[in-house]
Amino acid sequence: MSPLPPLPADRRRERTMLARLDRLTERLEADERALVQLRNTVDALARETGGISVCHPCDRCEQSLLLLREGTMYCPHCHYRRSM
């Protein structure tokens, strides 16, 4: 069996880009799975340690999710606090 002829530059570039896209897709899917696992773990820890719920992102800094406890929402990042 004879070796395949070299691919034109455009075909090589396309294969390289497709391979890179496949690697990035795999990384993104792995990161999404890890994020779901982390969110589930944080939610469980919050419930186990005193009836805390994890809410939506902070309205002010958007750097953390708000924690809800006893009718008060609190941002652990910027310390924003709001009663419900």
Residue 8 has pLDDT above 80, yes or no: no
Q: Could you say which DSSP state residue 3 is in?
A: P
Strands in 81-83's sheet, in edge-to-edge order, are 53-57, 65-69, 72-74, 81-83
17-76 pLDDT, tens digit per residue, is 999 999 999 999 999 999 999 999 998 998 898 889 999 999 999 999 999 999 999 999
pLDDT at 67: 94
Cα Rg of the chain, angstroms: 23
Q: Which helix (H) or strand (E) holds 31?
A: helix 9-48
What pLDDT sits at residue 68? 93
Q: Which one, of 84, 83, 79, 44, lies nearest residue 64 by Cα?
A: 79
pTM for this model (two decimals): 0.66
